[in-house]
Amino acid sequence: MVTSVTNLGRSGLFDWVVQRVSALVLLAYFAYIGCVLLGGVDYTGWRELYAQTWMRVFSLGALLSLVLHAWVGIWSVLTDYLTERMMGTTGTVLRLLAQLLCGIVIFVYTVWGIQILWGY
């Protein structure tokens, strides 16, 4: 059993549900965007689409789903492969540093995405 202070008290079931729900939101979002693109869209149409509040909210939901999906995936991979048992204390330090770096990158991309969606 992996015990880590970086899991924030989550359970495996919670992570599983987050992955599945976020995947469904992303599937719906990208399926819709794909249909819009297949229907043909120019700059004006694209701008009008994203000027609507429901599309911005849908995009924000997709962005947050992507963030949650990515974090759970990154956390799972790092906890599986950078362990104290496999690499000694170095594994724990590397895992914490990698999680910190990934967390910072995800946070910056999230803030940037929100600024893009709601910035004007």
DSSP string, the chain: ----GGGTT--HHHHHHHHHHHHHHHHHHHHHHHHHHHT---HHHHHHHHHSHHHHHHHHHHHHHHHHHHHHHHHHHHHHHS-HHHHTHHHHHHHHHHHHHHHHHHHHHHHHHHHHHH--
% of the chain with per-residue pLDDT over 90: 62
Residues 84-105 have pLDDT tens digits of 676 677 778 888 899 999 999 9
Judge whether residue 44 has pLDDT over 60: yes
Which class does domain 12-118 fall in?
mainly alpha
Q: What are the residue boundaries of the structural domains of the chain, listed by start?
A: 12-118
- pTM for the complete prediction? 0.82
